Copies of this chain bind each other. A is one copy, B any other.
């Protein structure tokens, strides 16, 4: 066993050697996809795809070699140490595999195989048996019935997802494997990058609480996003969330929130999901942010990962079109935030360079012919204004609009300013400028409403931190 791995879940995320139990040469098989993902980072043909740097040991008694790697009949035959085993054999073989892992000294298993408690009483019995052996042998388990584990910064793709997400600051934990694959695809469209990406399946052993605590001190994680269908131990989850939130922002999408959804959850996971009001109250107590749609989950996580918390709820909106500015104002208000009142001297300073027809109030409408420079100067003034706690920047396509130059100047103007900024480059075909904003840490969210929601997440975070720090900021 590796030194320093005794505590925590490092074996899952920073293993030095991995065995794939149930490795396969046959394309289309899960045991084949896992090997490809470990070796190359993805099953797809992608330039510069890069695989896991440590040792990879395929295990399959019916093969000598898989993808150029020597194949072993049992994990016990592997010559070196094995920090992590990825298990894809049929459920009924898993207990034996666990015994062999114990003998080998492997202490972490990602069990991808399905056919456990999610499939009925017989599967539940098998799951208990696997847990019993794991406990005896000191093995921690992620899964069973999951997609696997990805950590981007060390190119570890111990999953059968067909793509590797881009590296980034968000750790995502999902109780739905199907959602994981969908989210990877979505993340490319929305420029969302992940540090860790975990499908936890049945949560037989390692659960949301364990992962929260682990990611709380993970140097690559800036925000944690959770998709939860049910919690087995609410108290334990709350304790973990309470410990994590002061370190890292946590965003939670809990499905089964309505009566209809809860009934559906119970049929799906076999566990009662409990009263939603109780979850709501519990989440609030921990300081985690609860959201209600997949889009909100990632919009909030993106904002929280990149931007500082807001010191208050007074927000300025800068826009080159009235309507979208009003939409942002509507949404900020709906989320309980306020439009910052601009002090007279700030209005005067803006007057000195803005054309006479500018709105002269917040939303700061700097008009359809706004140049990048006009955005820059306006943001410089608002960044320095004490009455402004955060800024939503909107750009719409007009005859004179230069999306890329404006993005560059926005990034320059707010560099080093300890106030959150979110952006909506509304329907601008110049995707490069949107990606540029994201890559420079300014979350770009396409629509004014979404940019306002993201700002609300940062105001929430500020409130939570002030509460935790006992008014240090207030």
A residues near B (Cβ < 8 Å) are 28, 30, 33, 114, 119-120, 160, 162-163, 174-179, 181-186, 227, 229, 255-261, 263-265, 267-269, 292-295, 317, 320-327, 329-334, 338-339, 357, 359-363, 365, 368, 396-399, 426-429, 446-449
Interface CB pairs A-B, < 8 A, 15: A120-B357, A160-B399, A163-B429, A176-B324, A178-B321, A179-B323, A259-B333, A260-B329, A260-B332, A263-B339, A264-B326, A264-B359, A264-B361, A267-B359, A295-B447
Distance in angstroms between the alpha carbons of A135 and B146 in the assembled complex: 70
Contacts of A360 in B (CB 8 A): 267
Most buried by B among A33, A178, A332, A426: A178
| Contact flag A293-B449 (CB < 8 Å), given A333-B260, A339-B260 | yes
Q: Are A257 and B323 in contact (CB under 8 A)?
A: no
CB closest residue in chain B, given A427: B182
| Contact flag A182-B426 (CB < 8 Å), given A176-B324, A261-B330 | yes
Q: Are B320 and A397 in contact (CB under 8 A)?
A: no
Distance in angstroms between the alpha carbons of A472 and B368 in the assembled complex: 50
CB closest residue in chain B, given A320: B178
Q: Are B359 and A268 in contact (CB under 8 A)?
A: yes
Contacts of A294 in B (CB 8 A): 327, 447-449
The contact of A327 among B30, B255, B365, by CB within 8 Å, is: B255
| Contact flag A329-B258 (CB < 8 Å), given A178-B368, A264-B363, A268-B322 | yes
| Contact flag A268-B324 (CB < 8 Å), given A184-B427, A427-B184 | no
Contacts of A323 in B (CB 8 A): 174-176, 178-179, 227, 229, 255, 268
CB closest residue in chain B, given A325: B264
In the A-B complex, the 3 residue pairs with the closest CB atoms: A182-B427, A176-B323, A178-B321
Contacts of A263 in B (CB 8 A): 329, 339, 361
Q: Are B185 and A428 in contact (CB under 8 A)?
A: yes
CB distance from A398 to the nearest CB of B (A): 6
Contacts of A182 in B (CB 8 A): 324, 396-397, 426-428
CB distance from A172 to the nearest CB of B (A): 13
CB closest residue in chain B, given A446: B186
CB distance from A174 to the nearest CB of B (A): 8
Distance in angstroms between the alpha carbons of A265 and B120 in the assembled complex: 57
CB distance from A127 to the nearest CB of B (A): 15
Distance in angstroms between the alpha carbons of A361 and B260 in the assembled complex: 12
CB distance from A258 to the nearest CB of B (A): 4
Contacts of A446 in B (CB 8 A): 186
| Contact flag A229-B322 (CB < 8 Å), given A330-B255, A398-B178 | yes
Contacts of A259 in B (CB 8 A): 333
Distance in angstroms between the alpha carbons of A371 and B357 in the assembled complex: 60
Distance in angstroms between the alpha carbons of A178 and B447 in the assembled complex: 12
Contacts of A339 in B (CB 8 A): 260, 263-264
Q: Are A185 and B361 in contact (CB under 8 A)?
A: no
CB distance from A184 to the nearest CB of B (A): 7
Contacts of A185 in B (CB 8 A): 397, 427-429
CB distance from A411 to the nearest CB of B (A): 21
Contacts of A229 in B (CB 8 A): 322-323, 326
Q: Are A179 and B324 in contact (CB under 8 A)?
A: yes
CB distance from A327 to the nearest CB of B (A): 5
Contacts of A332 in B (CB 8 A): 260
Distance in angstroms between the alpha carbons of A72 and B298 in the assembled complex: 56
Q: Are A258 and B334 in contact (CB under 8 A)?
A: yes
Q: Are A397 and B181 in contact (CB under 8 A)?
A: yes
